[in-house]
Amino acid sequence: MAHSSIVGGSTAGRLLACPGSYQAILALPPSAETPSEYALEGTAMHEVMATVMRDWRDDILPVPERYIGKTFADRVLTESDWTTLIVPALDALDELEREHGADFEVLAVEHPVRFPRVPGAFGTIDLILVGPSHALFVDWKFGGGVGVQAVYPDPRGDLVNPQLLFYTASAVRQRIDGTSLRRLKWIGAIIQPRGMTPLSYTEITPADVTRFVEDVHGAVTTALGRDPPRLRGEHCRFAPCKVACPLWTGPLLDLSALGHVTRSTSDSASRAVTPYGMYLARAKALLDSVALLQKEIDRQLHAFLENGGLVPGWRLKLKTKQRQWVDEETVEAALTELGFSYDDIWQDKLVTFAAAEATAKRLGVEIPDDLRITPPTNETTIASTDDPAPVVERQVLIEQFSAALQQLKTRKLA
């Protein structure tokens, strides 16, 4: 799928935060990027949803047998894909409709839109539904690593997802299939079946759209100007330009300046910030930057080599794949002949939480909370001070663990 050269739905947030990223990315050598397995899966699931939505528009019931086993974007849709990704996405869409009055019709699927007054700025919106009073702009997300929300909290006030604003601002300025959306209320929604919040949505007002269009125009003007400013932040996560950005590479020079700080025996007992504590804080921040930068450099190096480029000291090799059985019937017969019993060959195990939740939704039932427990633990892990998880004090943790363990033993004896 083609992407806008200057700004699109997926890059609007980055351009607004860092206008300098546009020229920095243009300055990188071209590379034939190899899509990751997760990206290929996401593309396939988008194609499945597009097919289901077109079927819905044509009054075709989306029964599993119509899709499972079929090929979408060079991938065969499995029953697991259907139950853990497609069904939860459809359930979230159903919830979204019910929250806004129901009686929705499919207006557009995978619809190309152009951003107003910015030549070359375009994108593709996954789904537009229209009802008596609302228009729903839906963006599917099938990844599980980074949660995507319709709205993000900010000290200055909640921020609407720039991708949703981009698509909404583009769609409402045109007639789609002869339909004007101007008189309806606009709802932008993110549906991410694997996310902690599978459905998030927000109303987008005409004022929101006007401000966003003005902000994008300003960012584009700045990005095309001389020495546009650059800013490091969360928007850099998927930005290829960080491999050459001084805000990322500059701090790496500080690694040699860290020096060595000897840990004092009183450091652990002290409640004050010690030189050793400061050393660990600075070292951790730098190494986290290195880890994120390494991932991006490895990705670009691989793409460059795939495109025929030469990188001294590096070359391509075939990726090692895990061995797999030839087929179940052949393996079972051969192992049985070798003396394997049925239990030696086959294993039964419970389904995953995600698969069980999908089945429960299909059946219209709820899984009792007491069927899933969190085992007590006295193990800890590190977290930044802005992490919302409760602070752990070691002595308190030991007492809590002992109480939880005793409760678990009592439950088993009952």
CB atoms within 10 A of CB 287: 13
Stretches where the chain sits below pLDDT 70 are 1-4, 30-35, 155, 250-271, 376-380, 382, 385-414
Coil vs helix vs strand at 314: strand
pLDDT tens digits along 272-284 = 777 777 777 877 8
The DSSP bridge partners found for residue 203 are 187
Residue 197 CA: distances (Å) to CA of 191, 238, 373: 8, 21, 20
Query: What are the residues whose beta carbons fall under 8 Å from the beta carbon of 197, sequence distance 6 or more?
Result: 147, 149
Q: What is the dihedral of CA 369, 375, 376, 380, to 10 degrees?
A: -110
On whether the CB atoms of residues 97 and 129 are closer than 8 A, the answer is yes
Q: What is the pLDDT of residue 134?
A: 96
Q: What is the pLDDT of residue 366?
A: 86
Q: What does residue 95 show for φ and ψ, rounded to 5 degrees? A: -65, -40
Q: What is the pLDDT of residue 251?
A: 61
Query: What are the residues whose beta carbons fall under 8 Å from the beta carbon of 93, sequence distance 6 or more?
Result: 138, 191
pTM: 0.68
pLDDT tens digits along 68-77 = 999 999 899 9
Q: What is the pLDDT of residue 97?
A: 96
pLDDT tens digits along 264-318 = 555 555 567 777 777 778 778 777 777 777 777 887 888 788 888 888 888 888 8
On whether the CB atoms of residues 135 and 187 are closer than 8 A, the answer is yes
Query: What are the residues whose beta carbons fall under 8 Å from the beta carbon of 376, sequence distance 6 or more?
Result: 400, 401, 404, 405, 408
